[in-house]
Amino acid sequence: MTSDTTTESPILVISNRLPVTVGRSARGLELRRSTGGLVSALEPVLHRRGGTWVGWPGAKLRDGEVLSQPSDPYRIVPVELSDGEVARYYHGFSNATLWPLFHSMPDRARFERSDWDAYERVNERFAAVAAAEDGLAWVHDYQLMRVPHHLRRLRAEARIAFFCHIPFPPYDVFRLLPWDREILRGLVAADLIGFHVRDYAQNFLDCAERLLAARVDREAGLVEVGDRTIAVGEFPIGIDFPLYEQRAMAMQGRDRRREQLVLGVDRLDYTKGIPQRLRAFERLLDLHAEHRGQVVLLQIAVPSRDQVRAYQDLKREIDELVGRINGRFATPGWTPIQYLYRSIPPDDLSALYRDARVALVTPLRDGMNLVAKEFVASQVDDPGVLILSRLAGAAETMREAVLVNPMDLDGTAEAIHRALVMDEAERRSRMVALRRRERRNSVEAWTNGFLRRAASSGERLLPASDTEFDAWIGSMLRKYRLALFLDYDGTLSPIAEHPSLALLSAEVRDALERCAARDDIDIAIVSGRALEDVRKLVGLDEVVYAGNHGLEIQGPGIRFEHDDLAHYADRLDRLADELEQHCIPGAWVEPKGASLTFHYREADETQHERLAANATAMIRAAGFQPRSALAAVEARPPIGWDKGHAVLHVLRARYGPSWSESVRPIYAGDDETDEDAFRVLAGLGRTFRVGSPDRSTAADRQLADVDAVLGLLDYLARR
Ligand code: ADQ
């Protein structure tokens, strides 16, 4: 796909809510168009390029009810949720776990397994619905962070972009989430992950590096997970600037309010800092008595999530504060705080934005904050002053606002005072700069910029460099002898159609030989293959070979065979005969000494599932452990011995029980059987998982492929 065709491909928007809200009356189904910022941001592109919007309609649909007609510019496709799912996925995991945690308020977060299960199930359903639609998938926000993963599973070739509308917390906060890695793996299945500001993107990269063992390039905004590279960037959202500007101008005829108006407009949410704001206003009246009788704070709070306890508590707290402060200062002709607990129509909001002398936008934490931008766009007349919390994403770009720390009541009170007495020249200079930026960075520019980046494909991280290897293992190599453990298939040689075709490349062989020739490096090859097989493939005398996942080990100074092996030899022969009788063309049995592998890669594909199931059942019936591999099933004797045991055995045999005083192991491997070794070596050495891990890895780092392993060997040989 060229980037040009992608730029104009249809768009597949996936968000928690649809752009319409479904209601029901005596006349039947009623659709109300939502007025949120996201809808006005995305509808123009959907009109231009066509596509689909997938989301929850907010109510139950009856059989045969549809939300869009063939003549509509884009399709609206519902994902239905049960009442239990709304409670656990939406009110639970999304709003009671992720929302507070991502706003760095972990004390407010609840962590419930059943909420997580519902979140996973609902995200899977969103992905399944979306997988049936065409276009560039654009997934929105924290309710749907597992969707990229599930969508990628269903459509490996899909182009997927994700945008996070709320902050992404620092590593120290994020890792409190019991499902931290699952969330990250959900996201990195996308091709592009967008955040409002650089800090959030950097937090995400930190988390991916530390929790997924991924490689990251902070400058370029790239993260490499296995063999995939994902772009991560900052895309500060804007508003429909002309719309707000025009609305404010249309309101010109109205009476200007007489008082000095200080305006607060928010969803009623504990992240918005409303109680702190009220207290700061009280402090202003304490410190600057000249404003008494003159200034009014109008706080408008839209009801939000009001079934949730924390929001009910907050509402009560605000009611009480307003009552107390008004009780202290009000006079017969003046009430210092006016408080409206409701949504207000767009025209009325525009009139207030235009007339306010000061907008007080003081969230404790906010992904971006659109109110600040709407206020600025509405300053078409005598300019007012924007007071903005440093902790809102908007503060990263809106530098000409009066910036405050909302926790600092005195500082905020002084800022309000300064804004109220600020002369016109300063107000105008600040507002002109703010308006120019917001006009340029409108929501249309945001959508276009994001989609352009989503369409530009194929950025790759450069292969891991010496500098990276130095940072990961350099200091350890300077002090200790190195025990280098390497898996064979998928690590030293790419996975091949047939095991006999997986040979070492000339470069890998050369690098291995150079490592082996150093007298401060000892090498061991740890493989699932039979010992003789892997010895023949590598062919270096000074190397230790561990075959059959370490059940047999041989090399300089070591000769080991697990005691229980002999016991299983005859039974293994019989199992091999039985499996062979069931082979169809393209399926075959590979005897590996202490174990065997049943391969079916070249058999008719429609038979794969049946072959795997049959072989698994026969292996189990014969008393062996089945383990599925790529188009193959392995049968291993039920001996509690794995690559982890093998590695420890080699270390103790070679260097004695106190080996860790003088030796550091490095282990590189590409599959599930290597995870046993990663776990055993955690904290004792350094481990590398090669390729794309579908599941979690216990390794310290990831390497993209065999070429990256070659880079590591070359570094070790040269250093
Ligand atoms: P929100 O938390 O909803 O959005 P915000 O960005 O301020 O926060 O948007 C609120 C919207 O609601 C504004 O468009 C505002 O005009 C409107 N609104 C507020 N009070 C209103 C009232 N009383 N009556 C009518 N309308 C009212 C999330 C993130 C933000 C991020 C946005 C967009 O939490 O940080 O900026 O998404 O990405």
What is the domain-level CATH number for residue 393? 3.40.50.2000
Does 301 share its domain with 391?
yes
Ligand 1 atom with the shortest distance to the CA of 393: 35
Domain stops at, among 219, 234, 249: 234
Three-state SS letters, 306-366: CCCHHHHHHHHHHHHHHHHHHHHHCECCECCEEEECCCCCHHHHHHHHHHCCEEEECCCCE
How many CA atoms are closer than 13 Å to the CA of 104, on its beta-carbon side?
16
Does 169 share its domain with 202?
yes
Does 664 share its domain with 702?
yes
Give the residue numbers spanning the domain of 598. Answer: 566-636
- In the residue annotation, 707 being an active-site residue is answered as no
Does 616 share its domain with 664?
no
Does 548 share its domain with 648?
yes
Beta bridge partners of 548: none
For 189-228, letters b (16+ CB in 10 Å) and e give bbbbbbbbbeebbbbbbbbbbbbbbbbbbeeebbbbbbeb
Residue 353 inside a domain? The answer is yes
Phi, then psi, of 516 in degrees rounded to 5: -65, -30
For helices 241-250 and 370-377, angle between their N-to-C axes, nearest 10 degrees: 50
Residue 212 inside a domain? The answer is yes
Which CATH number characterizes residue 611's domain? 3.30.70.1020
Domain stops at, among 209, 234, 259: 234
Does 157 share its domain with 29?
yes
DSSP 604: -
Which CATH number characterizes residue 482's domain? 3.40.50.1000
Cα separation, 60 vs 269, whole angstroms: 27
pLDDT score for 259:
66
Tell which one of 15, 199, 267 to mutate to probe ligand 1, the residue whose CB is within 8 A of the most ligand atoms: 267
Beta bridge partners of 561: 552
Distance of CA 57 to the CA centre of its chain: 25
Tell which one of 370, 391, 446 to mutate to probe ligand 1, the residue whose CB is within 8 A of the most ligand atoms: 370
Q: How far is CA 637 from CA 162, 187, 528, 619, 678, in A?
A: 45, 38, 13, 10, 22
Which tokens hold the place of 432?
């002109």
The three-state secondary structure class of 626 is: strand
For helices 424-440 and 370-377, angle between their N-to-C axes, nearest 10 degrees: 110
Region of residue 550 (left: phi > 0; alpha: psi -120 to 50; beta: else): left
Ligand 1 atom with the shortest distance to the CA of 366: 35
Check the CA dihedral 438-440-443-446 and report its sign: negative
Whose CA is closest to atom 22 on ligand 1? 343
Which tokens hold the place of 693?
């891990």
Region of residue 197 (left: phi > 0; alpha: psi -120 to 50; beta: else): beta
Domain stops at, among 636, 656, 678: 636
Write the CB contacts of 209 (distance below 8 Å, at least 6 apart in sequence).
215, 216, 223
Q: Are 642 and 673 in contact (CB under 8 A)?
A: yes
Which helix (H) or strand (E) element contains residue 667? strand 663-669
Whose CA is closest to atom 9 on ligand 1? 370
Cα separation, 529 vs 646, whole angstroms: 14
Residue 108 inside a domain? The answer is no
pLDDT score for 258:
57
Q: How far is the CA of 267 from the centre of ligand 1 (A)?
A: 6
Regions of the chain short of the pLDDT cut 70: 1-7, 252-259, 457-458, 693-694
Q: Are 166 and 183 in contact (CB under 8 A)?
A: no
Write the CB contacts of 545 (distance below 8 Å, at least 6 apart in sequence).
524, 525, 527, 531, 534, 535, 538, 553, 554, 555
Does 254 share its domain with 294?
yes
Cα separation, 442 vs 260, whole angstroms: 29
User: What length is written for the chain?
Assistant: 719
Residue 472 inside a domain? The answer is yes
Ligand 1 atom with the shortest distance to the CA of 342: 23
Cα separation, 105 vs 108, whole angstroms: 6
Residue 295 inside a domain? The answer is yes
Does 385 share its domain with 436?
yes
Which tokens hold the place of 347?
């025209």
Cα separation, 663 vs 387, whole angstroms: 59
Q: How far is the CA of 36 from the centre of ligand 1 (A)?
A: 8
Residue 483 inside a domain? The answer is yes
Cα separation, 559 vs 466, whole angstroms: 36
CB atoms within 10 A of CB 627: 19
Q: How far is CA 638 from CA 474, 590, 595, 677, in A?
A: 39, 18, 10, 18
- Ligand 1 proximal residues by C-beta, below 6 Å: 37, 165-166, 237, 265-267, 300, 302, 343-344, 349, 366-371, 374
Give the position of tokens 């026969």. 618
Q: How far is the CA of 302 from the centre of ligand 1 (A)?
A: 9
Does 245 share its domain with 230?
no
DSSP 237: -
Whose CA is closest to atom 35 on ligand 1? 367
User: Which residue type does 337 have?
Assistant: I
pLDDT score for 227:
83
Check the CA dihedral 301-241-49-200 and report its sign: negative
Residue 618 inside a domain? The answer is yes
Strands 588-591 and 558-561: unpaired
Does 648 share its domain with 706?
yes
Q: How far is the CA of 600 from the centre of ligand 1 (A)?
A: 56
Ligand 1 atom with the shortest distance to the CA of 394: 36
Does 274 share its domain with 147?
no
Cα separation, 246 vs 211, whole angstroms: 48
Cα separation, 103 vs 403, whole angstroms: 19
pLDDT score for 256:
56
pLDDT score for 240:
92
Which tokens hold the place of 417?
């005072």
Does 389 share its domain with 336?
yes
Largest interatomic CA distance in the chain: 101
Of the residues 266, 487, 533, 676, only one is catalytic, namely 487
Cα separation, 515 vs 523, whole angstroms: 8
Residue 357 inside a domain? The answer is yes
Q: Are 412 and 401 in contact (CB under 8 A)?
A: no
Number of domains in the chain: 4
User: Which residue type does 391 have?
Assistant: L
The three-state secondary structure class of 612 is: helix
